[in-house]
Structure formats: C-alpha cells, structure tokens
Chain A
Amino acid sequence: MQKSNVDIRSLQIGFGGLKVLENLDLHVGASEFLVLLGPSGCGKSTLLNAIAGLIEVKGGEIHIGGRDVTWAEPKDRGIAMVFQSYALYPRMSVRRNMSFGLKVARTPQSEIERRVAEAAQMLRLTNLLERRPSELSGGQRQRVAIGRALVRHAGVYLFDEPLSNLDAQLRAELRVEIKRLHARLGATMIYVTHDQIEALTLADRIAVMQGGVIQQLDTPKKIYREPVNRFVASFVGSPAMNFIPGKLARGSEVAFIAGVNQLSLTGYAFRSQPTEAPAVLGIRPEHIELTASNDPSSVSARVEMVEPMGADTLIWCRLADGTAFSLRHDADTQVRVGDTLTVRFPADAMSLFDETSGQRL
C-alpha cells in the first residue's frame, strides 16, 4: 500500500462572497495521522473536501504524493473518504457497497474479492457482508463506510467526523479501532473532529483551527501543555483550563500579580523578555497543587463546590479577591464545601497570555 504525503500551498476557498479559507498552508507527512480540530463552522470539512476534490478551490495548490492534483477528479487523487453520515448506498448489500466502486473502475473480479475479504476481516464485517445497511447498527454502518474506503487502497484516507453520530461507548471503541488500523496500515490519515478527546488520542499532530485559520499545528502533548494562544488553550482540555487575569511585575524576580496574591514565575519559559503589562494566567486544573500553609508561594482559597467525576474530583475554589478556578484532586478527597485550601501554582505548568492579543508570552 502506498503512503502519500499531502502538501497544501496557500489554499483559498470561498462560497460566493464568503471567504472560508485564506492562504492556508499545511504539510502532512506520509504515514502521518493528522487531526483537524476546531469548533463548528471553522472550515474543517471545507478543507477536507478540498483535499478530496469535492469542492473547487479559488486559489493555491494541492499536492498528493508529490503530484499536483489541484484540478484532478476525486477518483484520480489516490484518496478515500469516510463521511459523518456514513453515506452508504442504501439498497446495496455490505459486499456491494464495498465492491461497487472497484467494479465500475474495472478492477479484476479476483482482486475485488481479495480486497473486500481483507477489509471485512480487518473490520470484523465478514459475517455481515450480505446484509443491507438498514439491517446494521450505527457502529457497524460506520465500519462498513471505513471498509469501503479501505478497499480503495488509497494513499491518503480522509475522515470527516466519522464517529460523531455514535454514542459515547461506541465512539470510544471505534476510536481504538481506527488507531489500530492506522498502526497496521501505516497509511496517511487526515481526520476531522470537534471532539478534543478524539484529537488528543488519535493524532500524531493536531491542527487546531478557528475561523478558517490554523492556530497551532503541533503534537497533542505540545498543544495541551503549551498552547500558543488563548483560543487553543480554552478549546483543548476538559475540564477547561483556568484563566486568571492580572499583570506581570518585575522585582527581584518576575511575578504575576492577581489582586492581593503574588505568584512566582521562576521557571516559566518566556518566549520573549517579559514586560510589565496586563496578562492572563492559564493553568489546567490538574496542575494546581495542594500544599502546606507555610509555603511562601502559596495562596489560600475557599472551596465553593465539589464535583465527583469518577476517576477524580473537581474542586471549585475562589480566591480572596473573587477570582474563581477549579482544581483536580483524588476521587476519595476529604475536601468539603466551605473548607479553606492552600494551593500552589507551579510556574512550569503555567501558560501566560498577553491580555489584548491573547498570544502566549
């Protein structure tokens, strides 16, 4: 099976007067699993459809496997695609759904049978081959849709929110299955989702999009730990990152002033020389630590609400000056509403953002 890279150069796409993508550049390496993540309407499907050749581009170039396919028909691009609504051919059996495209392309019958059998075995569909889509469950339908893509032996597989019509448990199961498939085939995959768990678990790299622009393109770990701006920080992570407004101060050491509290920033990797200016501190709930009250860098906060979440507990607190934040603690925590906690914000787990531009400092 060939593995193609995808190279998108200053792509422009619009519908009528509406510009959806403008000068978008993206390079996806061969065998890479790239996830396009973003809120509804940010242009993820548009980008994917453009790669597939299903919508016309206004400008720019798309190269797949080193070949310029900007104006090629979808079938000639060496791609296969899986759709959100499955898009199975309803009156055809599972076998015919998978084989029809190959048959029309005049693939030899023995080759068709081999490929269908292989895909069916990989996706555990062998017993369902003679059924109609209407006789299958949602999860089975989506596996058939994936099977129909697999038999194409494409260089790039495109997925447009393939799991969003499934319930939570099936989604988790199929997520694992897709990941296993990627490991086994080593094929290039581009996967659209607005579910950040899917993105974080599946991706080699994630492209976080907003308003038709890729905000950050990085490994899941980097995206999670070092978001480049407030949008990425707030979009990725659940429960969400805490944001505390305040300002930077340069005394003997750089510190963050939030109301009456002063937090040390020793150990924070600034991107440029810090200046004294208003800023926003971002920190994830699981990075806030409980500590002894004599710790000099600690602050105290009152517990307002306790949310048990199974594996752990989310504790909502408020600082003396009214700033609210949440922190994650053990499932068997003894903390009660009304308690006063002493907490520490470790500088190396923080993200600092410019107040006006929202960019990481």
Chain B
Amino acid sequence: MRLSLNSRLSAISALLPALLVMLVVYIGATSWTVWISLTSSRMLPNNNFVGLRQYQILLGNDRWITSVHNIVIYGVLFVSLALLIGFLLAVAIDQRIRAEDTIRSIYLYPYSMSFVVTGLVWQWLLNPTLGIQHVLRSWGFEGATFDWIVRPETAIYCLVVAGVWQASGLVMAIMLAGLRGVDEEIWKAARVDGLPKWRVYVSIIIPMMGASFATAAVLLSTGVVRLYDLSVAMTNGGPGIASEVPAKFVMDHLFERANIGLATAAATTMLITVVAVVAPYLYWRTRKGEVR
C-alpha cells in the first residue's frame, strides 16, 4: 500500500512539469484568446467587454468568408486526393518492383521540404511566364494554357496541387506499412478464389486498412487547419483575396492590421469548428472502446 502510494507520488511528480506547461500554455493561452475576442481590442489588448461584436464583424468580412470557403475546398480536395494518390503509389510499390527503396525515398522526399520551399517551387512551376505553360509553348504547343495561379477562381486549386504533391509521399509510407501487414495467405486464398487483383484491393484489402486510412486522414487534417505558409509562399493570398485561408487571416490581423480582437475572434471560430468535429469522433472512439 505504501509502496503504491510512493510510486503514485513519483509518477505525479514526473508528470508535473508537463501538466503545468499544459495548464499554463495551452489552457491559459486559449482562454486568453477567447477572452480577448470578446473585447474591443485593436492594436493592444484591452479588457473592454463588447460581447459578440467581433464575431458579427467577422461574419460580415468578405475576406473571412472567402478564407472559410477556400479552406473547405482545400480540405476536401487535399485530404481525398492525398489519400487516393498516396494509396495508389503504395499499391504500385507493393507489386514487388525493383529499386523499391529508391522509389520510396523519392516519393517521400517532398515531405521533408518545408511548405515554404514547396510553395516557392510550385509558384515557379505554375507561373505562366516561367513554368509549365512557358515550357509547353516553347516546345511548340502554342495554344497551351496553364494559368490557374493567376486566375482568382482557380488559385486555390494550385494550393491543393502543391499540398497533395508534398503530402502524398507520407500517405504512401503509411499505406505501404498497412499493405505489408496483410497476411500473404489472404492473397493466396484470393487467387484460388479467382478474384482479380483490383477486386482484392477494393473488397478485401481497403476494408482491412481502416486504421491506416484514419491515421493518414488525421495527419492530413491537422495540415489543413494549419494551412498558412503554403498560401503565403505561393500566392500570398492572391490574386486579390482569392486564395486567402483562415490561419493567414488570423496572422495578418494580429501582426499587420493591428486588429487583435478580430484576429482572436477568427482564431476562436477555428477552434470551435475543430472541437465540433473532433469531440463527437473522440466520443465515438471511446464508446467503441468500451463496447469491445
């Protein structure tokens, strides 16, 4: 009994620093942000309570509306395309091809680059006067047009392309681990059953890989919420405000536009959205865990 009390004490004391950091930094900073969003703070924080005024302003702000619109497009396309392409790459590598290690490293390589580098590379590639369009035209395809990045209605898709290019390798690595975990005898059984390969992937292997897909989707989703540097490096939110995203909205209003109240209102809105998505999921997970 005394021993278990002792060991519990030492466990608590070991966890204490982490606990303090979490309380002060995360909870403290979050509560402060939420509080400031309810005040009339502009360049400097103040404690002048104005209720939900900042949120009203936010909802009437064109740039915020565009940002939200963009992040939805980006989120849906980026996560689904990265999952799809990453999975297909993993399947391709899983065919026991030669030079597997080399190809795997090449696919994974973009992930080791920061978003800023990725953004600059793709900004250059997509730039009509320097990149792909220019090359195609110089090869004689006079009519070749690839100017998405300078057109407001398509600029956000350029972010998707760059994001998917960067993240697919990571998804591939996760999926490949999942594929390699499939019992070889399942493949043999499927061959005896006469199932075509694609059918085995669709009907048997993919349903088995729920955990891999969930892991990859969670990793990708955190990237969606954080999306900032890619937008800054590739388009700087432009043309106009066509490729603005919420995280960039917060940063700009915090540091450039000196509107702390509005920035924290935007940040709080993002937080509430994430919690609204994650909380039911966590609840469902723990319920499922209890049932098992």
User: Which residues from chain A sit less than 8 Å from chain B, CB to CB?
Assistant: 49, 52-54, 73-76, 79-81, 83-92, 100-101, 104-105, 148, 152
Residues of B contacting A75 in the complex (Cβ-Cβ under 8 angstroms): 191-194
Tally chain B residues at the interface, Cβ within 8 Å.
17
Q: Which of A49, A86, A90, A101 contacts B193 (CB 8 A)?
A: A101
CB pairs A–B below 8 angstroms (9 shown):
A52-B192, A75-B191, A79-B192, A80-B192, A85-B185, A87-B185, A87-B186, A87-B189, A101-B195
User: In the complex, are the beta carbons of B194 and A73 less than 8 A apart?
Assistant: yes
Binds A, one of B64-72, B200-208, B229-237: B200-208
Cβ-closest chain B residue relative to A75: B194
A133 to chain B, nearest CB (A): 11
Task: Give complex CA distance A76, B186 in Å.
Answer: 18
Residues of B contacting A81 in the complex (Cβ-Cβ under 8 angstroms): 188-189, 192
A52 to chain B, nearest CB (A): 6
Q: Which of A54, A88, A90, A101 contacts B188 (CB 8 A)?
A: A54
User: In the complex, are the beta carbons of B208 and A90 less than 8 A apart?
Assistant: yes
For the complex, would chain B's binding face be called helix, strand, loop or mixed by DSSP majority? Answer: helix
Q: Which of B185, B191, B196, B207 has the most CB of A within 10 A?
A: B185
Q: Which of B189, B195, B207 contacts A91 (CB 8 A)?
A: B207
Cβ-closest chain A residue relative to B204: A89
- Does B287 sit within 8 A of A, measured CB to CB? no
B97 to chain A, nearest CB (A): 17
User: Which residues from chain B sit less than 8 Å from chain A, CB to CB?
Assistant: 183, 185-186, 188-196, 199, 203-204, 207-208
User: In the complex, are the beta carbons of A100 and B189 less than 8 A apart?
Assistant: no
Residues of A contacting B183 in the complex (Cβ-Cβ under 8 angstroms): 85, 87
User: In the complex, are the beta carbons of A100 and B195 less than 8 A apart?
Assistant: yes
Q: Which of B191, B195, B208 contacts A54 (CB 8 A)?
A: B191
Task: Give complex CA distance A49, B184 in Å.
Answer: 13
Q: Which of A80, A81, A89 has the most CB of B within 10 A?
A: A89
Task: Give complex CA distance A44, B235 in Å.
Answer: 63
Task: Give complex CA distance A81, B188 in Å.
Answer: 9
Residues of B contacting A101 in the complex (Cβ-Cβ under 8 angstroms): 192-195
Q: Which of B186, B189, B194, B203 has the most CB of A within 10 A?
A: B189
Task: Give complex CA distance A46, B191 in Å.
Answer: 16
**With contacts A101-B194, A104-B195, A104-B199 known, is A83 near B207, CB below 8 A?**
no
Q: Give me 6 other A-B pairs in contact (C-beta within 8 A), A81-B192, A89-B189 excluded.
A: A54-B188, A73-B191, A76-B194, A89-B204, A92-B203, A104-B196
User: In the complex, are the beta carbons of A104 and B192 less than 8 A apart?
Assistant: no
B245 to chain A, nearest CB (A): 37
Task: Give complex CA distance A89, B187 in Å.
Answer: 10
Task: Give complex CA distance A89, B196 in Å.
Answer: 15
Residues of B contacting A49 in the complex (Cβ-Cβ under 8 angstroms): 188
Task: Give complex CA distance A84, B183 in Å.
Answer: 11
**With contacts A100-B203, A104-B199 known, is A89 near B186, CB below 8 A?**
yes
Cβ-closest chain A residue relative to B185: A87
A334 to chain B, nearest CB (A): 52
Residues of A contacting B203 in the complex (Cβ-Cβ under 8 angstroms): 89, 92, 100
Q: Which 7 A-B pairs have the closest CB atoms?
A: A75-B194, A101-B193, A91-B207, A87-B185, A87-B189, A83-B185, A74-B192
